[in-house]
Amino acid sequence: MASRSAATLDDLRRHNRVRLLRRLHEGGAATRSDLVAFTGLNRSTVGAVVTELADVGLVTEVAGTAGQVGRPSLQVHPVAESAVVVALELRVERSIALLVGLGGTVLARREQRHRRSDYGPAAAVRTVRSLMRHVLSQGPKDAAWVGVGISVPGTVDHGDGRVRLAPNMGWTDVPLADLVRESILEEYGWSPPVVVGNDADLGAMAEHVRGGGALDENLIYLSGEVGIGGGIIIDGRPMTGAGGYGGEVGHMVINPAGTRCRCGAVGCWETEIGRDAVVRAAGLSDDAEVADVVAAVEAGRRRARTGIDRIGSWLGLGMANLANLFNPQVIVLGGHLRLVYPLVEEVVEQRMHEALPAVREQVRVELPAFSGDSTLLGSAEAAFAALLDDPIDVLGRSGRAIA
């Protein structure tokens, strides 16, 4: 009986530590009173947890800014330089790395373009290595390097970080987490945990944790790239499905009279609204960018206008389907859809009107809070998860980012 109570008190302490650190990491600086109100713990418990986290350097207390009557209360801040992660986004034509500190502060950024046709797993690992070296070199000395998060446009096994299928990269069964971990081991003699996730799932997480959808328990994030990914948050939690492959909205067949998709089926949503379809519908050549389409529409070119309206119609139709299926509070349009949507807002709204009245009334459409960086920030969140779940232990086991 005694040991049971003890275990419970220990669990409770860990639980309080986790809640408080997560609040600071996600919501930013707060006074002790804020933390008392947020956690429902009493003042002395909050004080003890803050002291514990300050002792290991994860938080610091500084005098609050003016604007308040009476003496300024202390503000507890997450220390960005205490613990860092490398967040990577691998795309068909471009890869990006961020160095992100505790609290979500972006400390460094590096981007590299590559050819669509020539980007196998080995090349990707080389790119990751070079991007990682660069952003780490710009990081704070002595920061604990607590994780690496990588997003890919494909289906990922959450258990082992294996990319099952990334059709637009031409990848099948790539043990990406293992490959990157080996590469880090080779270079640094040590590796933090490496997590790999689907781009849209990670974008959804960032929008849910830090974005405009932070209060929405049911959110869909669409990542428009060459393909269309879907990150789906249900009752505040990522929907993974049986094997972590849920949310493949790009392969929802929506036009059986349409064109064949890389996945083998005919009429997948991404054949109608993927980046290639957008460029083609506007009458531009295959190597044009979506930004060129936007320019053409804004310049009043008729072919581009007609084309983009057709895209908008398919976009709205698919969004109506998702609204009927998931009844979300918000659909966030990421990737190139972020550029397309402002051009076709009316068409989309009209098509979404075909969703059932009850779901239509409840859903809003938004652009990402982080422009093009939602996926990267989601990768960072995934990489921070281990630290947030067990800060003292993970910090103790971590190597330094810059030796």
At residue 401, the 3 state secondary structure works out as coil
What does the block give as tokens for 362? Answer: 């409840």
Note whether 226 binds a copy of itself by CB under 8 A: no
Pick from 265, 194, 174, 173: which is nearest to 227 by CA? 265
**Cα→Cα distances 65→71, 73, 81, 110, Å:** 10, 9, 21, 34
For a copy of itself, which is the closer residue by CB, 325 or 369? 325
Pick from 294, 304, 295: which is nearest to 338 by CA? 294
> How many residues at the interface with a copy of itself, by CB under 8 A?
50
Pick from 232, 226, 271, 233: which is nearest to 251 by CA? 271
Note whether 224 binds a copy of itself by CB under 8 A: no
Pick from 208, 259, 192: which is nearest to 368 by CA? 208
Note whether 356 binds a copy of itself by CB under 8 A: yes
Query: End-to-end distance of the chain based on CA atoms, in angstroms?
Result: 47
Note whether 263 binds a copy of itself by CB under 8 A: yes
For a copy of itself, which is the closer residue by CB, 75 or 321? 321
What does the block give as tokens for 66? Answer: 């003016």
For a copy of itself, which is the closer residue by CB, 279 or 322? 322
DSSP string, 151-213: EESSEEETTTTEEEEETTTTEEEE-HHHHHHHHHHHHHS----EEEEEHHHHHHHHHHHHSTT
Note whether 325 binds a copy of itself by CB under 8 A: yes
For a copy of itself, which is the closer residue by CB, 156 or 297? 156
CA atoms within 13 A on the CB side of 72: 11
For a copy of itself, which is the closer residue by CB, 103 or 153? 153
Note whether 363 binds a copy of itself by CB under 8 A: yes
Q: Which of 119, 221, 326, 370 lies at the binding interface for a copy of itself (CB under 8 A)?
A: 326
Q: Between residue 293 and residue 322, which ones bind a copy of itself under the rule CB under 8 A?
A: 317, 320-321
- CA dist 120 and 99 (Å) reads 24
Note whether 202 binds a copy of itself by CB under 8 A: no
Pick from 302, 377, 320, 313: which is nearest to 341 by CA? 313
Note whether 242 binds a copy of itself by CB under 8 A: yes
Greatest CA span in the chain, whole angstroms? 78
Q: Which of 72, 120, 236, 241 lies at the binding interface for a copy of itself (CB under 8 A)?
A: 241
For the CB of residue 249, give the shortest distance to a copy of itself in the complex, in Å. Answer: 6
Q: Which of 16, 218, 223, 375 lies at the binding interface for a copy of itself (CB under 8 A)?
A: 218
For the CB of residue 142, give the shortest distance to a copy of itself in the complex, in Å. Answer: 40
Note whether 357 binds a copy of itself by CB under 8 A: yes
For the CB of residue 124, give the shortest distance to a copy of itself in the complex, in Å. Answer: 20
For a copy of itself, which is the closer residue by CB, 132 or 352? 352
Q: Which of 49, 165, 169, 297 lies at the binding interface for a copy of itself (CB under 8 A)?
A: 165
For a copy of itself, which is the closer residue by CB, 98 or 332? 332
81, 106 Cβ separation under 8 angstroms: no
Query: Which one of the spans 45-53, 128-136, 202-210, 355-363 is the region binding a copy of itself (CB under 8 A)?
Result: 355-363
At residue 304, the 3 state secondary structure works out as helix
Note whether 327 binds a copy of itself by CB under 8 A: yes
**Cα 267 vs. chain centroid, distance in angstroms?**
27
Q: Which of 11, 142, 217, 389 lies at the binding interface for a copy of itself (CB under 8 A)?
A: 217
Note whether 245 binds a copy of itself by CB under 8 A: yes
What angle do the packed helices 121-137 and 176-188 form, to 10 degrees?
50
Note whether 243 binds a copy of itself by CB under 8 A: yes
- CA dist 102 and 278 (Å) reads 38
Query: Which one of the spans 21-29, 239-247, 273-281, 382-390 is the region binding a copy of itself (CB under 8 A)?
Result: 239-247
Q: Which of 199, 248, 373, 381 lies at the binding interface for a copy of itself (CB under 8 A)?
A: 248
List of residues 6+ apart from 175 with CB closer than 8 A: 160, 161, 162, 163
Q: Between residue 122 and residue 161, which ones bind a copy of itself under the rule CB under 8 A?
A: 155, 157
> Which residues of this protein are in contact with a copy of itself, per CB under 8 A?
155, 157, 164-165, 216-218, 230, 234-235, 237, 239-249, 251-257, 263-266, 317, 320-321, 324-329, 354-359, 362-363
